[in-house]
Structure 1
Amino acid sequence: MSTTCDAVCHTAAPCPTKDAIPDVQNYPDSRKLAIDKVGIKSIRHPVRVADKNGGVQHTIASFNMYVYLPHHFKGTHMSRFVEILNSYEREISVENFEDMLRQMVKRLEAESGHVEMNFPYFINKKAPVSGVESMIDYDVTFIGEIKDGEYIQTIKVVVPVTSLCPCSKKISDYGAHNQRSHITIAARTNTFVWIEDIVRMAEDNASCELYGLLKRPDEKYVTERAYDNPKFVEDIVRDVAATLNADDRIDAYVVESENFESIHNHSAYALIERDKKAS
């Protein structure tokens, strides 16, 4: 004697019986509301990142993985996102990032997909006078999207720097207030761009860059360097934007500067966004 269930499946598969496990995600939905992004957030997985000096960094990334869900589907298969990550066994690399995204869209039968891979990245830097070496970490996110079969890649880097206030320098008899600042560059690229190149674009346009370790001659240098190169947040975003405008590898960008003020209980902030292909 056969047994039927009350659910109506949108697939051609037989209706589940009492001995089968129903696939509720495959049931139809009558609300006629598509979902722009559905998936999983904040799942960690090992990654491998090549650096510009020929080395390889092994680190842990946090992944956000989404697909577009048409209005007639009730849900997506969340477990498949995890399966895709684990199909790469030990590590995912920047080189196979696009392949992973395309596999995700295919496995979930989606029209579009979006993956964010956020990880700490370390650069070994030499102090400007003594040459002593130390590591600085940067917050990096690789963002990949598939739309109409086209792959779009964005690299986002948060770069800590020093900024010194031009107004404070101008009106003070001696000294000027400075602060640590974050320059954030999110660049949509048409080819591969090294993380170090994005970092350099930010550091070259700050009052002074940061170092993990400084001796006294180095401290004197960076203090005077910032004093001789004062910048508002407006100056920083404009100077970084000008650098990005001149780089043919960059198709579009968002550049932000946030100064964590040393004489105020608030931050100063500025942003420039531009799509170079649309201009």
Structure 2
Amino acid sequence: MSHQLPDVQATAPDVRIGLGQVGVTGVEKLVKVAREDSRPYVLMAEFAVTVDLPSERKGLDMSRNMEAIDEVLEAAVSDPVYRVEEMVGDTAERLLEKHDYTSTATVSMEAEFAVKDRTPATDRPTQSTIDILASATATDGEPTREEIGARVDGMTVCPCSQGMMEETAREKLADLGVDERSVTEFLQEVPQAGHSQRGHATLTVETAGDPDVDILDLADVARDSMSARIYNLAKRPDEDAMTYRAHANARFVEDCVRAMAEQVVEECDHLPDDAVVTMRQSNDESIHQHNAHAERIATMAELRDELNRP
């Protein structure tokens, strides 16, 4: 005689408190992304999947979570998927359907992606890596919100330390008898030293439905928000070009976030006012043991209003 196994997860917990996010993280899947005029590319992606858990339920049925993930991601590998944010949105909606006791499901994805590049001085082909970020939240009775973006690396130079070096150079050149006009012209043409950092910029856009933005466009905005781009391959002329550009465009961590905001408003003017833009910049300091961080999360309406103020 067979006995049905007890559904322990469905029993009441000892402490009846609801939980906002319960699920699984670190789920790795191959995802095939189709392109209209080119060969598809395959991502090794890592997923996190969560739902809310009511206070009267002890636990989540993990097998149902994994079933929903497998169903959608296996379909993504075999069928054309043109937008990863749509894929995670579908996963979130299916997850919500499979759990009658939940009201919200969230799916997030990260994957490393190599983009073709060319070195700044020698114009040699090379590659750069970016992290593709996608997430979606499905909520009962509301449109599914989808988010897409990228995390990239770059280089920044501290304007404060550079300013002090410029003053030192100005005084030394004056001591050597160089006239003030020549000193000013020299300092305008030759940026002075400043301590540099490896910068990490994150830029994402979230809307109700299709954000209608290109991941690579967002990656370009994020890379250009820092003092200079960096490259995996760099001959000596390229190293010189990167160093010069970075020091000619010294930026604080705060400047990078503001540059992202300005570029997003210019490049993504089709986005609705209620689109939410997340901009983060973290710099690995070279002369300190701490790091620098700045961020802003705002709607497009808020950014448009602030940038248009006199």
Instruction: Kindly provide the amino acid, as one letter, of the partner of residue 65 in structure 2.
Output: F
TM-score, reference length from structure 1? 0.85
- Deviation per CA, 1:165-220: give whole Å up to 9, x if none: 11222221242221211111232145232211111111222111111112222222
Distance 1:50 1:242 in 2: 31
> Hey, what does 1:49 align to over in structure 2?
33
Shift of 1:156: 3.8
Match of 1:255 among 279, 297, 306: 279
Structure 1 segment 1-279 matched on structure 2, within 5 A: 19-29=3-13, 31-50=15-34, 54-87=38-71, 88-89=73-74, 91=76, 93=81, 94=84, 95-109=86-100, 110-148=102-140, 149-172=142-165, 173=169, 174-189=192-207, 190-246=210-266, 247-248=268-269, 249=271, 251-277=275-301
Contact kept in structure 2, 1:52 and 1:196, CA below 8 Å:
no
Distance 1:90 1:252 in 2: 29
Distance 2:43 2:75 in 1: 11
- Deviation per CA, 1:87-139: give whole Å up to 9, x if none: 24375552433222211110122211000111111111111222211121112
Shift of 1:240: 0.9
Contact kept in structure 2, 1:46 and 1:90, CA below 8 Å:
no
Instruction: Kindly provide the amino acid, as one letter, of the partner of residue 142 in structure 1.
Output: A
Deviates more, 1:55-64 or 1:99-108: 55-64
Alpha-carbon RMSD across the aligned residues, in angstroms, is 2.4
Q: Secondary structure at the match of 1:89?
A: helix
Distance 1:232 1:199 in 2: 20
Distance 1:274 1:69 in 2: 29
Distance 2:264 2:197 in 1: 24
Query: Structure 1 residues 207, 98: closer, same or farther in 2, change over 3 A?
Result: same
Query: Structure 1 residues 52, 164: closer, same or farther in 2, change over 3 A?
Result: farther
State the identity %. Answer: 28
TM-score, reference length from structure 2? 0.77
Structure with the bigger percentage of strand: 1
Query: Structure 1 residues 257, 68: closer, same or farther in 2, change over 3 A?
Result: same
Contact kept in structure 1, 2:147 and 2:211, CA below 8 Å:
no
Q: Structure 1 segments of 4 or more deviating over 3 A?
A: 28-32, 49-55, 90-93, 276-279
Q: Which runs of 5+ in 2 are unaligned?
A: 170-191, 306-310
Distance 2:59 2:24 in 1: 13
Query: Structure 1 residues 268, 29: closer, same or farther in 2, change over 3 A?
Result: closer
Instruction: Kindly provide the amino acid, as one letter, of the partner of residue 131 in structure 1.
Output: D
Q: Which runs of 5+ in 1 are unaligned?
A: 1-16
What is the count of residue pairs matched by the alignment?
263
Query: Structure 1 residues 50, 223: closer, same or farther in 2, change over 3 A?
Result: farther
Q: Secondary structure at the match of 1:208?
A: coil
Contact kept in structure 1, 2:149 and 2:205, CA below 8 Å:
yes
Query: Structure 1 residues 77, 242: closer, same or farther in 2, change over 3 A?
Result: same
Query: Structure 1 residues 222, 53: closer, same or farther in 2, change over 3 A?
Result: farther
Distance 2:151 2:282 in 1: 10
